[in-house]
Chains A and B, each alone.
Chain A
Amino acid sequence: MDFDFPEDIVIARQKASDFAKKEIKPEDARVYDKQEKFPDDLRKKAFELGIVDYTNPWSMLVTIEELCRADAGMGIAATVSLFGAEVIMLFGSDEQKQKYLGSVQTGKKIMGLAVTESGGGSDVAGIKTTAKREGDKFIVNGSKMFITNGSIADFFVMLVRTSSPDGKRHHGLSTIVVEADLPGFTKNKLSGKLGVRATNTAELILSNVEVPAGNLIGEEGKGFYYIMTFFNISRAYVAAQAIGIAQGALDRILSHLGNLAKSGRSEEITEEIQFLVADIATRVEASRLLTYKAASFLFQFKPNPTLTSMAKAYASETAVFATEKALEITGVSGITGDLERFFRDAKIMEIWEGTSEIEKLIISRNLLKEASEGN
């Protein structure tokens, strides 16, 4: 067993790290955070320089880590403009792939994935937005909540109800591509988020929006399955975001403690602090191993949802733990510096793309199922 990455991934990580050092400066991160501004120039530059390139998932995974290590808000904003693309890639028609994927892969366009509604996010099958077939169109009515890229995306992969559930709640759901400029489609940017404030989040409202029937992705009624498949991929990337945040917090703790030692204040680095540093570093390393193992299954097209959920939940909890302890260790200098932003950013990891509670349900249900099947 070899734990080293192949050389091209090592190079990709270095490239992303250099890019982050140059382009994601703490002073800029502070401004984007405070003003809740989307760093579109950064995003474009990341595409131009080939930093964002989802055709190589391994290099994307380590790139996300490195960018979020510098700043999660800007790092995510720069890498999330293809959010939902895998649904089209895996289940869309050739025509859809050509029409929609090319432009997002080059960074010319931005897309989003619209699943959550005000009535519920964890309970995906509980969504209420409907798409009624009328001739060669779907008429879409409803709303979506907390949608990343919501007010800047050119189009969305949207989960809608196309028929009643027939006894099973997750039946009758479908995924369609909804372009952002259609009549009847309004977006309200949400402000006042706790963290990741450089990312764009919006509420979407659809009132009799006419979507061509050809925008149905894959088969009608299979939407729930497509979205769950998607989450099994995207959760590995969220784990990478969380690892980046936790590593970023650890970097800053070590630098703070290094400064204390240099200025003759080593006695302030008590055993309590040393134990915390050891705990954080151990959890970051464990998160990495879990995430890379889950990704290794995933990227070889044999996804292991149990492992992916473990990685996502564990890395997210690690990010929250690391940033919380980082503030406790660094005190005033942390709270008046960048770490307070890391602390606010980290908490979203335990919420989006499956809350920690939902991940834990998935893990134990899978384990129980495997056990009952005698595996």
Chain B
Amino acid sequence: MPSEEQDILKSAVQEFAQKSLLNNLLKLEREGIDDSMVRALATQGFLGSRIPEKYGGSGIDQSGYLVVLEELATFSPSVSALVMLTSSVFAQLVGDMDPEAVRRVASGEAMASVAFDSILEGNTTVEGLKESGKSMTGERKHILNANPDYLISEAEGSGFLYLIKGGIETKEEDQILSFRGIKLGTARVNCSTYVKLADNGKKRLAEVMDSLDLEISAIALGISRGALQKVIEYTKVRKTFDKPLKDYGPVASTISKLMSEQRVLEMALHNQEIEEEKEKLMIKVLAVDLAKRASKYALQFHGGYGYIEDFGVEKYYRDAMGLSILLQRSRSDNQRLAKEIFGEKSGYL
């Protein structure tokens, strides 16, 4: 997408966010993304932005899609994660195997969830679902997006990956660190309609997750930009000892350096000549790290106000950490990166 078109798209997302998201951000964090928000995202074409038109999506190219993800994350990382989950993860995994499911999800008629904790780090046991040849039953913990109509999950034993269509009852989990808009849930499944998506579920899930380096970078950079914009505004007006905070060297230089990293990474992210996997991965590793640091300082420089939800800063701190655990595999990324740099398997000991 030419850069002028990217700018137009950026303005469109910002306009939507200002109109539909800005006044609902606290509610969204407290109660989760509701159906009307999902429909609004679908109507604007954002929910299925990366899904091909033949499946009911908007079919925009990757450069436009990154703009959508980054801009939405600036306001709400949860909303952006929902779009990525729908447009990239679900749509890529299902694709031609069930175009109707993809169409329903892209249009906001149905919600999709994917259980990919088995490939994430720090997982000690994955309790799976049992497939009997006729039905799929059991319980699956830690599914991202706690209230789905469709669930993609591996089956215990075979490790096959399935699309489960209905018969899903979910309970929200207590995890309140990150992505409060979409939540983590435990799904209880009793379903006879399901489609096999892949033989090696883990491998397929890992392939898809590893193909989303730039998408995750876009969310990370949205988080850091949202946090930095807030702290720049705040430190201009907040005074201590009769001086605005921005006048204090450590405050100004910390924010300025973070903003410089932000700008350089944004330039890299939106550089459409980036094609090599290695470079995409480099951007992601740095962007996620920046999101964590920028959100931490933004919170800190808000003082006590940073610690309460009303100022909308602490959510960036929570979501940056959540992003690095629930949507990224940082140790495996570091090893992938080391392999790229050294030309062979490295850094695994």
Q: Do residues A335 and B304 form an inter-chain contact, with CB atoms below 8 A?
A: no
Q: Which residues of chain A have C-beta atoms less than 8 A from B241's C-beta?
A: 122-123, 126
How far does the alpha carbon of A351 sit from the alpha carbon of B349 in the complex, in Å? 38
Is A329 an interface residue, CB under 8 A from the partner?
A: yes
Among candidates B242, B251, B304, residue contacting A121 with C-beta atoms closer than 8 Å = B304
- Asked if residues B174 and A192 are in contact (CB atoms below 8 Å), the reply is no
Please tell me if the beta carbons of B240 and A120 are within 8 angstroms of each other in the complex.
yes
CB contact between A30 and one of B117, B142, B174, B296 (< 8 Å): that residue: B174
A130, B300: Cα distance in complex, Å: 29
One digit per residue, 1 when the CB lies within 8 angstroms of any chain A CB and 0 when it does not, for chain B 303-343 equals 11011111000100110011011100011001000000000
Chain B: residues with Cβ within 8 Å of the partner, total of 47
A65 part of interface (Cβ distance < 8 Å): no
Q: Is A356 an interface residue (CB 8 A)?
A: yes
A332–B326 contact, CB under 8 A?
yes
Closest CB in chain B relative to A31 CB, distance in Å: 9
Instruction: State whether the Cβ of B93 lies closer than 8 Å to any Cβ in chain A.
Output: no
Report the stretch among A224-232, A256-264, A294-302 that lies at the interface. Answer: A256-264
Q: How far is the CB of A327 from chain B (nearest CB, A)?
A: 6
Task: Tell me the smallest distance from the CB of B273 to a CB of chain A, in Å.
Answer: 32
**Given known A331-B121, A355-B300, contact A190–B308 (CB-CB < 8 A):** yes
The answer to whether A357 and B124 touch (CB under 8 A), given A270-B331, A328-B324, A332-B326, is no
Residues of chain B within 8 A (CB-CB) of A330 are 122
CB pair A334–B176 under 8 Å, yes or no, is no
A335 touching B303, Cβ below 8 Å: no
Which chain B positions have C-beta within 8 A of A145?
304
CB atoms of A192 and B177 under 8 A apart? no
Is B69 interfacial (CB-CB < 8 Å)?
A: no
Q: How far is the CA of A145 from the CA of B310 in the complex (A)?
A: 14
From A194, A328, A333, A356, B308 is in contact (CB under 8 Å) with A194
Query: Within 8 Å of chain B (Cβ to Cβ): is A100?
Result: no
Alpha-carbon gap, A99 to B67, bound state (A): 64
| B residues in contact with A30, CB < 8 Å | 174
B87 CB to nearest chain A CB (Å): 23
Of B120, B177, B307, B317, the residue contacting A193 (CB under 8 A) is B307
Give every chain A residue within 8 A of B123 (Cβ-Cβ).
331-333
Q: Which residue of the partner chain, among A256, A331, A348, contacts B325 with CB atoms under 8 Å?
A: A331
Q: A272: CB under 8 A from chain B? A: yes
Q: How large is the interface on A (under 10, 10 to 19, 20 to 34, 35 or more residues)?
A: 35 or more
Cβ A347 vs Cβ B299 within 8 A? yes
- For residue B170, CB closer than 8 A to chain A, the reply is no
| Contact mask for chain B residues 221-253; partner A; CB cutoff 8 A; 1 contact, 0 none | 000000000000000000111100000101100
Q: Restricting to B157-182, which residues have a CB under 8 Å from any CB of A? A: 173-178
Residue of A nearest to B306 (CB): A351
Taking a contact as CB atoms under 8 Å apart, the answer to whether A336 and B349 are in contact is no
Interface residues of A in 109-137 (CB under 8 A from B): 116, 120-123, 126
A344 close to B326 (CB less than 8 A): no
Given contacts A193-B308, A334-B122, contact A123 B240 (CB under 8 A): yes
Bound Cα distance A3, B292 (Å): 37
Partner of A328, one of B30, B242, B330, B349: B330
Determine the chain A residues whose CB is within 8 A of the CB of B310 once the complex forms: 192
A335 near B175: Cβ-Cβ < 8 Å:
yes
A359 contacts across to B, CB distance below 8 A: none
Q: Which chain B residues border A120 with CB–CB below 8 Å?
A: 239-240
Considering the chains assembled together, what is the distance between the CA atoms of A270 and B335 in angstroms? 11
Give the shortest distance, in Å, between B228 (CB) and chain A (any CB).
18
With the chains together, A340 CA to B141 CA distance in Å? 17
A335 near B177 with CB under 8 A, answer: yes
The answer to whether A270 and B308 touch across the interface, beta carbons within 8 angstroms, is: no
Q: How far is the CA of A193 from the CA of B322 in the complex (A)?
A: 18
**What residue of chain A has the Cβ atom nearest to residue B322's Cβ?**
A335
**Is residue A108 contacting chain B, with contact meaning CB distance below 8 A?**
no
User: Contact at B124–A260, with CB atoms within 8 Å?
Assistant: yes
Contact of A335 among B292, B325, B348 (CB under 8 A): B325
B300 adjacent to A356 (CB under 8 Å):
yes
Are B124 and A194 neighbours in the complex by a CB distance under 8 Å?
Answer: no
Kindly identify which residue among B141, B248, B309, B348 contacts A270, using a CB–CB cutoff of 8 Å: B348
Chain A residues with CB under 8 Å of B314's CB are 194
Q: Per-residue CB proximity of A316-349 to B under 8 Å, as 1/0? A: 0000100010011111111110001001100110
Closest B residue to A125 by CB, please name it: B241
Is B219 on the interface with A (CB-CB < 8 A)?
Answer: no
Q: Check A34 for interface membership: any CB of B closer than 8 A.
A: yes
B47 within 8 A of A: no
Quick check: B122 and A333 within 8 Å, CB to CB?
Answer: yes
Which of B176, B296, B307, B317 meets A348, CB within 8 Å? B307
Residue of A nearest to B292 (CB): A324
Interface membership of B184, Cβ < 8 A: yes
Bound together, the chains give a CA A195 to CA B176 distance in angstroms of 11
Q: Which residues of B contact A259 (CB under 8 A)?
A: 124
| B303 CB contacts on chain A under 8 angstroms | 121-122, 351, 355
Q: Which residues from A are CB-within-8-Å of B304?
A: 116, 121, 145-146, 351-352
Chain B residues contacting A33 (CB-CB under 8 Å) are 176
The answer to whether A332 and B122 have CB atoms under 8 Å apart is yes
Tell whether A94 is near chain B: CB-to-CB under 8 Å. Answer: no
Q: Does A350 contact B (CB under 8 A)?
A: yes
- Looking at the assembled complex, report how far the CB atom of A69 sits from the nearest CB atom of chain B, in whole angstroms: 20
Q: Identify the A interface with B (CB < 8 A).
A: 30, 33-34, 116, 120-123, 126, 145-146, 190, 192-195, 256, 259-260, 263, 270-272, 320, 324, 327-336, 340, 343-344, 347-348, 350-352, 355-357
Can you pick out 21 interface pairs between chain A and chain B where the beta carbons lie within 8 Å of each other? A120-B239, A122-B240, A126-B240, A190-B308, A192-B310, A256-B122, A256-B124, A263-B124, A328-B324, A331-B122, A331-B123, A332-B117, A334-B122, A335-B122, A335-B175, A335-B178, A335-B326, A340-B176, A340-B177, A347-B299, A357-B251
Extra pairs beyond A320-B296, A334-B325 (4, CB < 8 Å): A145-B304, A193-B309, A194-B318, A352-B304
Q: Closest 3 A-B residue pairs measured CB to CB?
A: A331-B122, A192-B309, A331-B121
